[in-house]
Amino acid sequence: MKSLVVFYSLTGKTKLVSQVIAESLNATLFEIKEAKPRKLGLLTYLTGGLAAITNRGSEINPVDVDLKQHERIFIGSPVWASRPAPAINSFIYKTDFEGRSVIPFFTMGGDNAEKALANITAKVERSGGKVAGSFAVTSQDVPDEEIIARAKEATKEYSS
């Protein structure tokens, strides 16, 4: 089964998990980038969190990967205010998931991604896709080696 890993990462943690998934599953890797990149800081977290809570998107660069070539799509997002990041919302709003299996995954400072998962699941299903699993990696104050180990463990069930 040909897989695609699509992700948005502000701090690099979601990117790290995405790279582990792509390597483990021999999947295509694609990073979603905002047209106007965000800078780390309190204002970014406040405005980004508000946009996430209200399900707004952000302007993203064009997605130049053929989604039709992939049966399974992993979508990686940091959790902002219990929701996916605005760049992920934009990607989902612009994508037809008809006939695709989607596996959302999250990086987060907390330990609960239920609202983010419910949010992405509803959007993917409205676009014809089927959520076929999910996982989350707590990444705040966690060394990269531990994040990599957690990502490898979470990816095992998708390697068959």
CB-CB contact of 141 with 107 (8 Å): no
pLDDT score of 28: 95
pLDDT score of 7: 98
pLDDT score of 160: 64
The string of pLDDT tens digits covering residues 5-29 is: 999 999 999 999 999 999 999 999 9
The contacts of residue 90 (CB under 8 Å, 6+ apart) are 32, 57, 58, 59, 60
Which of the 8 DSSP states describes residue 132? -
The string of pLDDT tens digits covering residues 31-85 is: 999 888 878 777 677 777 767 777 888 889 998 888 889 999 999 999 988 899 9
Question: Number of folded domains in the chain?
Answer: 1
Identify the CATH number of the domain in which residue 147 sits: 3.40.50.360
pTM as predicted: 0.92
Q: What is the mean pLDDT of residues 100-126?
A: 93
pLDDT score of 54: 79
Please tell me the distance from the alpha carbon of residue 15 to that of residue 10, in angstroms, as a whole number: 9
Q: What is the mean pLDDT of residues 111-120?
A: 90
Q: Is the pLDDT of residue 150 over 80?
A: yes
**Can you read off the two tokens belonging to residue 95?**
């994508």
What is the domain range of residue 101? 3-158
Q: Is the pLDDT of residue 117 over 90?
A: yes
Q: What is the mean pLDDT of residues 81-103?
A: 93
The string of pLDDT tens digits covering residues 133-149 is: 999 999 989 999 999 99
Task: Tell me which of 52 and 95 has the higher pLDDT.
Answer: 95
